[in-house]
């Protein structure tokens, strides 16, 4: 698939000034300026995040109301139900809030809706469960901002709601006792990009502040919060960077036993990075809710006995293996259904497993780059997930077709929705119209943002040591991507892997060569063989083999 290379520019004068102030190369200074860092103090905060950089949680609208209601619950011995969505953000949020409040509240339980019977968000079944079991308060995490009717129903039943959400509010917001969401128009909280778990943590932080509980006593929950930040693809800036910086320390030094068991299965037990969390741990947590029930994910995350956690982890890995098989087969079927003439993709089947449609949507975009919705059918209702392409507002496009949906929610790049089968043809037409009227050709071509064009000889241990300090990586602070032009392979480049689908290169340098690996790029061998010059796009990482580490290029793209 052709990709556009977008070379990012910065102010040369600012770069030069920062380079001198920090005593770093202009390459490093340029990388910092691209990330909005232009002064010594800003660089210090970036490289050395501090807990003191976190905002006062009481700046968030309704925070005092929420804390006061929890205080009342504790004083009166009322029952609390911690409710969360079935994805990683939701299950980590529930595990975190439940683990914290269990030490304070006499009677507390957690509730995760069934992906298949109840669907996304707050369900009437969940509210009925709360009422029937005398729960006075539901604390909803990573969901609820659009649950207007459900909260009205809860109010009729005499069940209070505190909503901790980070998704975009609709025109109407629920009449909950307290809504914590920095994206509310009239919320003055300075940082708007928290995960759902992040909003929940701010409630824990606020409760702790009011009750003179030192931050050191709640830092243990940052491991769960870091998993949510990585999995939910929120920007790695501001508070998210602080949380993740300390959360990764927690994960590496003293993780909760459930995470430890999952990391062992993923073979990620030392020097764990946010990438290890995203691609190793998060898929297993998600697999529980995709194949069985997401309460299994909460069970392992709140467990305190390692032996029990290990048994949970083994079962979750079985689910993950099943998920991988479904992912592969449904992706194959979905690719055959795509209408190449359209600027959007909507595919569906009554035979597909609802638990993997979000993954499949992302897979389809890897091959056919356009806004994509994948739906699974059951009992006349199609439920599924939508994924977007760069810089296209998927949420707004679906909102234009909202009258054909039973419900939907999400944000710019990802959403969930359900549609009655009889409304599907009109929805497909309306969605294609909404996409076609607003999407540009540029948005329909994959784009790689290039931090800087550098000579291949500039790639050395010193540069890599500094780049490692840019971690944790994530949106708005991705691992730097470079381009080197006029590169030549030293003759040892080849196609690798059992089916020769991957590419190994050895890019010539003045003093030797540097290895590079391009996964799924075996076909590019024709461009690099026989001393041909080529331009290579890559990030820099380390390869460990037989206990020895060496620099390597992680190839993103190659052009003649």
Whether the per-residue pLDDT at 448 is higher than 90: the answer is: yes
In this prediction the pTM is 0.89
pLDDT digit string, tens, across residues 59-86:
999 999 999 999 999 999 999 999 998 8
Q: Write down the pLDDT at residue 294.
A: 82
Q: Residue 170: what pLDDT?
A: 86
Beta pairing class for 160-164 and 135-141: parallel
Determine the pLDDT at residue 409: 81
pLDDT in tens, 38-65: 999 999 999 999 999 999 999 999 999 9
In whole angstroms, what is the distance from residue 121 CA to residue 163 CA?
Answer: 11
CA dihedral angle for residue 357, residue 358, residue 363, residue 368, rounded to 10 degrees: 90
* Cα–Cα distance measured from residue 423 to residue 381, given in angstroms and rounded to the nearest whole number: 10
Residue 115, pLDDT score = 76
Beta pairing partners, 507: 489, 514
* Whole-angstrom distance, CA of residue 229 vs CA of residue 491: 42
Q: What is the pLDDT at residue 518?
A: 96
Give yes or no for residue 31 having a pLDDT over 90: yes
Residue with more model confidence, 294 or 451: 451
> What is the reported pLDDT for 361?
95
Q: Is the separation of the CB atoms in 439 and 392 below 8 Å? A: yes
Look at residue 292 and tell me whether its pLDDT is greater than 80: no
pLDDT tens digits, one per residue of 301-321: 999 999 999 999 999 999 888
Distance from C-alpha of 520 to C-alpha of 538, rounded to nearest angstrom: 14
Please provide the size of the chain in residues: 560
Q: Looking at residue 269, what is its pLDDT? A: 79
Give the number of other CB atoms < 10 A from CB of residue 41: 10
- Report the b/e string of 223-262 with b at 16+ CB within 10 A: bbbbbbbbbbebbbbbbbbbbbbbbbebbeeebbbbbbbb
The region, left, alpha or beta by phi > 0 then psi within -120 to 50, assigned to residue 415 is: beta
Mean pLDDT within 332-361: 93
pLDDT, residue 77, reads 96
Determine the pLDDT at residue 210. 97
Task: Give, in order, the Cα–Cα distances in Å from 147 to each of 47, 161, 176.
Answer: 40, 11, 10
Q: CA–CA separation, 35 vs 454, rounded Å?
A: 18
Q: Could you list the beta-strand ranges (E) of 431-500.
A: 447-450, 452-453, 482-488, 494-496
Q: What is the mean pLDDT of residues 123-136?
A: 97
- Token code pair at residue 6: 């977008």
pLDDT of residue 249: 96
Lowest mean pLDDT among 284-298, 408-422, 432-446, 451-465: 284-298
> What percentage of the chain reaches a pLDDT higher than 90?
86
Identify the pLDDT of residue 426. Answer: 97
Type and span of the H or E element at 226:
helix 222-231
Say which residues have a Cβ less than 8 Å from residue 225's Cβ, sequence separation at least 6.
Answer: 92, 96, 195, 197, 198, 201, 243, 247
CB 489 within 8 A of CB 507: yes
pLDDT in tens, 75-122: 999 999 999 988 899 999 999 999 999 999 999 999 999 877 787 789
Predicted pLDDT of residue 104: 95
Are 386 and 394 contacting, i.e. CB atoms less than 8 angstroms apart? yes
Domains in the chain, CATH or no CATH each: 4-48+447-559 (2.40.50.460), 57-254 (3.90.1640.30), 338-438 (3.10.310.30)
Number of helices followed by number of strands (H, E) in the chain: 20, 19
Three-state secondary structure call for residue 505:
strand
Residue 510's pLDDT band (cuts 50, 70, 90): confident
């Amino acid at each position: 698939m052709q990709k556009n290379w977008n070379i990012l520019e910065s102010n040369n004068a600012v770069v030069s000034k920062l380079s001198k102030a920090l005593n770093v190369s202009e390459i490093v200074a340029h990388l910092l300026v691209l990330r909005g860092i232009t002064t010594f103090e800003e660089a210090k905060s970036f490289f050395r995040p501090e807990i003191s950089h976190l905002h006062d949680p009481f700046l968030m609208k309704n925070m005092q109301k929420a804390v006061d209601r929890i205080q009342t619950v504790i004083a009166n011995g009322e029952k609390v139900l911690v409710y969360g969505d079935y994805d990683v953000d939701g299950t980590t949020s529930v595990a975190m809030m439940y683990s914290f409040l269990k030490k304070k509240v006499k009677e507390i339980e957690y509730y995760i809706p069934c992906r298949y019977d109840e669907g996304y968000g707050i369900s009437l079944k969940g509210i009925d469960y709360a009422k029937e079991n005398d729960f006075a308060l539901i604390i909803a995490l990573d969901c609820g901002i659009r649950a207007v009717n459900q909260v009205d129903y809860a109010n009729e039943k005499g069940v209070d709601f505190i909503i901790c959400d980070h998704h975009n509010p609709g025109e109407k917001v629920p009449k909950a006792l307290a809504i914590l969401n920095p994206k509310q128009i009239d919320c003055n909280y300075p940082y708007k990009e928290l995960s759902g778990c992040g909003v929940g943590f701010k409630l824990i932080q606020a409760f702790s502040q009011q009750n003179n509980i030192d931050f050191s006593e709640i830092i243990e929950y940052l491991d769960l919060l870091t998993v949510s930040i990585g999995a939910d693809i929120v920007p790695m800036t501001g508070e998210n960077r602080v949380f993740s910086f300390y959360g990764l320390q927690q994960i590496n030094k003293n993780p909760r036993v459930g995470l430890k068991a999952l990391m062992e299965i993923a073979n990620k037990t030392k020097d764990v990075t946010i990438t290890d969390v995203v691609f190793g741990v998060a898929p297993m947590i998600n697999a529980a809710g995709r194949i069985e029930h997401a309460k299994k994910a909460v069970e392992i995350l709140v467990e305190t006995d390692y032996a029990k956690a290990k048994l949970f982890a083994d079962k979750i890995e079985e689910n993950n293996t099943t998920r991988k098989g479904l992912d592969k087969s449904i992706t194959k079927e979905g690719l055959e259904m795509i209408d190449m003439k359209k600027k959007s993709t909507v595919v569906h089947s009554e035979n597909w497993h609802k638990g993997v449609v979000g993954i499949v949507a992302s897979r389809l975009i890897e091959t056919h780059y356009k806004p994509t919705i994948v739906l699974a059918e059951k009992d006349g209702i199609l439920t599924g997930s939508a994924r977007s392409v760069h810089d296209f507002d998927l949420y707004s496009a679906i909102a234009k077709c909202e009258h054909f949906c039973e419900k939907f929610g999400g944000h710019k790049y990802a959403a969930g929705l359900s549609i009655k089968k009889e409304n599907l043809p009109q929805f497909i037409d309306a969605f294609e119209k909404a996409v076609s009227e607003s999407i540009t050709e540029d948005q329909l071509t994959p784009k790689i943002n290039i931090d800087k064009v550098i000579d291949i000889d500039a790639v050395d241990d010193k540069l890599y040591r500094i780049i490692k300090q840019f971690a944790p990586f994530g949106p708005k602070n991705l691992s730097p991507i470079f381009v080197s032009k006029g590169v030549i392979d030293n003759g040892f480049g080849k196609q690798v892997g059992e089916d020769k689908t991957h590419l190994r290169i050895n890019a010539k340098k003045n003093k030797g060569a540097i290895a590079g690996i391009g996964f799924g790029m075996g076909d590019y061998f024709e461009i690099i063989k026989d001393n041909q010059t080529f331009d290579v796009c890559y990030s820099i990482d380390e390869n460990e083999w037989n206990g020895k580490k060496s620099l390597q290029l992680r190839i993103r793209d190659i052009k003649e």
